[in-house]
Structure 1
Amino acid sequence: MLISESFAAFKAKQKNVQWSVSAISENNELVVSLWDQFFEKRSKGTMTYADQVSRWKGLGNSEFIENLNIAKEKDLPVRAIIAKSKNPKAVAAGEPASNLGNTFHPKKDWTGKLTIWDGDNFEIEFSQCK
């Protein structure tokens, strides 16, 4: 599935389909594309995504930071699009990832909460929708 189709599944529209990796949906939810390799199972029934915005410098980074700030300020629910790359080492190194043969999958059955956001480090805890 294309990333734009994944955002549309949550009624969210990217500002720029070439580089936007986050958006606020029509339902007032933060929708984010997140790399599968940064998810951890920390407790039963949840998955936690932990990363740093400083890890990458892509064009969507500023917009992503802005949207994390909005989500924290307004306590928005978070919805996940799982991104998987054929080159996870390049992703981990913060290299441009748009041409790495990525796939995207909207996790319609998950809802999350931004639990840590300090301007660089962030964590989002996801659980099954009720």
Structure 2
Amino acid sequence: VAHALALSRRASHRKTLLDVARDLGTITGVRAEWRSELLAALAHRDVPALVVWGDHDHILPFNHLEAALAALPGAESHVFANTGHMPQIERPDEFAAVVEDFLGRRTSPATQSPATQAGAELLPDPA
């Protein structure tokens, strides 16, 4: 809560939050057309997806996870115990580990296409 309050004191944060709220939501929740467009765009792309949820999320309750996974059948999921709507803030170390694991399994040479592997060979060695 202290972190959220500190962010809310920044004018740029307030404007961004207001812009997002206007684009996404109504007084009764997320705009149906926004959700439909997002799910349709994701469903037609061959992009790995990781759906994360807090088991104590009061904004998008935990029981919505099942619908999210049904809409994105190839997605992986991770549930954060004793966590609300913002696992990235509430559990930053666990969140980072989950995302790093997910990305690591998608960027290893064994999971890359030949074209991606060839492109990676053109990049300078970071060492």
Q: TM-score, normalised by structure 1?
A: 0.27
Tell me which protein shows more strand as a share of its residues.
1
Tell me which protein shows more helix as a share of its residues.
2
Larger Rg: 2
